[in-house]
Structure 1
Amino acid sequence: MNQMDLENSEHLDQMVTEALMRDRLVSPDADLEWKKLSARMSVGKDSAASPSDVKHIPSSALRLVWTIVGTVAAMALIVVVLNLKGFDADGSSVYQAKATPAEIVILDEQDNQHVVKGNDLSLAPASKAVVHTVVVPEGKDMKLTLSDGTEVWLNANSRLAYPTVFNGRERKVELQGEAYFKVAHDSRHPFIVYAGGMQTRVLGTEFNVDASDAKRPHVTLVRGSVKVSKANINKVIVPGEDASFDAGGSIKVSRVDLNDVACWKDGIEMFDNASLRDIVMHMGSWYNVNVICHDDALLDMHLRYMYDRRQGIEEAVMMLNTITNNKIKLQNNSILIE
């Protein structure tokens, strides 16, 4: 390209840019833009094309050029926006990070929100029994001590409705998600957890309730004894047993490793024969990072994997990368799977 062609190309680039900025990617007036372009290109002694020459190009053809330019620019803008949001043109988004992570809040009876500072809260007995709800979002967990001294560890994406003070013959709470209970003993006032259409009744013991999937809730007993009920089905389980309900309403009791079940409350995330998709979605949620996969087939890989989510994401990704043969890396606030 000679100097004249280079200058003309620069003029054209500048005109296209100005037109697109003025019209916000709407096709500009071809005649008007061409007049401006021809006026600039005619300046100088060595111009090879005169204004009379360039005006012979049909305006309809120029409109087609402008339409193509506008479409291409719009497509480029879409790609830029998607990349800013964490998507990748050569991969698919498995998890999208939140722009502003949510806080732990307590809702009163009027649904007014009160932000909880920290993740450890003890409630003093109130003079009046009203129902409050604590909401724990993605990437957070918390320990809540109820007015009777019962300790509750709430996992991410969980909520617990509880009275500010327990009155009556029973102590009742309602759970969505997952929680570990260490119930203060009171033989005169049974403690009942409602979750996923199931109720767990205890006097004083430790157990884990997972109703993340409300259709298949299950209870794992750590100490003492509990009675699990749903509809007309009742079952008493002993420590080390897990009672789960299937979609048909039947109950299944199995032996489990308690270290695997309850370790989440100590910050250890355990996966046993879980898909890589489930693992990275949990990591994306906890650390609030994007997850992008360049090879969907890898997401079906099943692994036994654990990490300490109280540590940084770098260590968690490094450990996962080791057992997946260097298929995963951390880059620009995103977990990339290749």
Structure 2
Amino acid sequence: MEKKLEEIIMKQLASEILSEDEKVCFEEWFKTPSHQRYFRELSKFRSGVMAYSVKDKVDRKKAWNKVRPVRKISRVRQVLKYAAILLLPLGVGLLLLTREQEKVQTVYVEPTVKPGGKLAVLTLSTGKQVELVGGVSAISEQGAEISTLTDNELVYKQVENKMPVNEAYNTITIPRGGEYRLVLADGTTVWLNSDSYIRFPVAFSGDKRQVELRGEAYFEVAKNVEKPFVVKISDYDIRVTGTQFNVRNYSGERVATTLVEGSVQLERGKEVLKMHPGQQALLVDGQLVMKEVNVVDVIGWRDGTFSFKEVRLEDIINELARWYDFDVYYQDTEVKNYHFTAWFRRNASIAEVIEVLEKTKKIKMKLDGKTLIVQKKSIQ
């Protein structure tokens, strides 16, 4: 039993897919506060391997290879299993606690700043708003049936012979601290990140499939050569027939489109730019600039991770603020331009995130209510 449970814990930490029986087993085990503490200890080991400032004189390439998400799950699990063996007396062994021992009262204080979750608001064509928390009852819209198959996925199914006379539109708004997944009527899947907004037709008609986006989303477009899929953002259109790509269109940031699979075409006035997998298009001073990127880093948010490689601290904090929903105050503005490399899971506590970033010994952070105060660490 303990051996099986250990394997399930390792799979969960390594982001492997659990079977239904394994999910039940893990959730039952995780109900115990002492087991939660054990799991957090393992998460710290996985998350806080390394973070460092650009001023640190280290071999950054080697350092990044230590912290970046490892594609070979067996390697991840091997490292985690080693950590589990070290922590075993604290963890799996806790299953052997007697009932008397488990009666120790624990006072739990709800943290002010918490990781985000599955939050979204659907606005129907009538203007009615529906909070997408814990699923909703089936809804009929003009030309489509809407339902939630899971607690974090809204699905549109186009109804034959019920096409609307005028195209009806819905919107989904993701607040700070939220994320959600949407399946459009054509079968296209859209992952929506925090502080994002998408407007789309409930049923596609005409010669193209068009949506509008603000914020960040990952698209897995259902192939249809006859009806191209178009994403309209603030500065240009993205046209595809069937592919996978990430779009980042936040106010105050450079617009970025990253192609994961297939091909896309960017259209900006008369300018047309074709992309290939592994490329990212950035809008810099009014010009589209192409560069090669590691797509695993860019789309980590979709799979529940934060992945930063030599990124400015201010950009990192902005990203975290959207997810954990906090404000930030810099006591020393120069730290905004410090660069860091770090990796951790999106379900990590804010205390764990702070611990990782403070390992640079270049900055110090503390929470005051929902405000994160950042300052340069003084040299002792």
Question: TM-score, normalised on structure 2?
Answer: 0.57
Match of 1:179 among 210, 217, 225: 217
Q: How far apart are the structure 2 equivalents of 1:212 and 1:279?
A: 14
- C-alpha spacing 1:319/1:295, structure 2 compared with 1 (3 Å): same
Match of 1:221 among 259, 263, 277: 259
Matched, 1:145 2:166: no
Aligned-residue offset at 1:123: 1.8
1:125 matched residue in structure 2: 158
8 Å CA contact 2:224–2:241 kept in 1: the answer is yes
Q: How far apart are the structure 1 equivalents of 2:272 and 2:240?
A: 13
1:312 matched residue in structure 2: 349
8 Å CA contact 2:308–2:343 kept in 1: the answer is yes
SS in 2 for 1:264: helix
SS in 1 for 2:157: coil
Q: How far does the alpha carbon of each residue in 1:213-238 deviate from its partner, in whole angstroms, 9 at most, with x for none?
A: 48842321111111111000001111
Residue identity matched to 1:312: S
Aligned-residue offset at 1:182: 0.3
The residue correspondences of 1:157-306 to structure 2 (distance < 5 A) are 157-213=195-251, 216-248=254-286, 250-306=287-343
Match of 2:125 among 67, 90, 109: 109
8 Å CA contact 2:363–2:374 kept in 1: the answer is no
Q: How far apart are the structure 2 equivalents of 1:208 and 1:322?
A: 31
Residue identity matched to 2:351: E
- C-alpha spacing 1:218/1:331, structure 2 compared with 1 (3 Å): closer
8 Å CA contact 1:321–1:329 kept in 2: the answer is no
Larger radius of gyration: 1
Over aligned residue pairs, what C-alpha RMSD do you find? 2.7
Matched, 1:156 2:189: no
Q: How far apart are the structure 1 equivalents of 2:253 and 2:236?
A: 10
Q: Which has the higher contact order (CA 8 A, sep 6+)?
A: 2
Aligned-residue offset at 1:244: 2.5
SS in 2 for 1:111: coil
Q: How far apart are the structure 2 equivalents of 1:185 and 1:120?
A: 20
Q: How many aligned residue pairs are there?
A: 240
Q: How far apart are the structure 2 equivalents of 1:103 and 1:153?
A: 12
Q: How far does the alpha carbon of each residue in 1:169-198 deviate from its partner, in whole angstroms, 9 at most, with x for none?
A: 111111111111000111221111111231
Q: How far apart are the structure 2 equivalents of 1:214 and 1:195?
A: 14
Aligned-residue offset at 1:305: 2.6
Q: How far apart are the structure 2 equivalents of 1:213 and 1:288?
A: 17
SS in 1 for 2:340: strand
Q: How far apart are the structure 1 equivalents of 2:186 and 2:254?
A: 29
Q: How far does the alpha carbon of each residue in 1:106-157 deviate from its partner, in whole angstroms, 9 at most, with x for none?
A: 1223433211124322222253341011111111111111111100011111
8 Å CA contact 2:249–2:255 kept in 1: the answer is yes
SS in 1 for 2:225: coil
- C-alpha spacing 1:330/1:261, structure 2 compared with 1 (3 Å): same
- C-alpha spacing 1:236/1:284, structure 2 compared with 1 (3 Å): closer
Aligned-residue offset at 1:290: 4.5
Q: How far apart are the structure 1 equivalents of 2:350 and 2:253?
A: 32
Q: How far does the alpha carbon of each residue in 1:266-303 deviate from its partner, in whole angstroms, 9 at most, with x for none?
A: 12223333332332333233223454444343333222
Residue identity matched to 2:211: V
SS in 2 for 1:234: strand
8 Å CA contact 2:153–2:180 kept in 1: the answer is yes
- C-alpha spacing 1:333/1:270, structure 2 compared with 1 (3 Å): same
SS in 2 for 1:283: helix
Question: TM-score, normalised on structure 1?
Answer: 0.64
Residue identity matched to 1:119: N
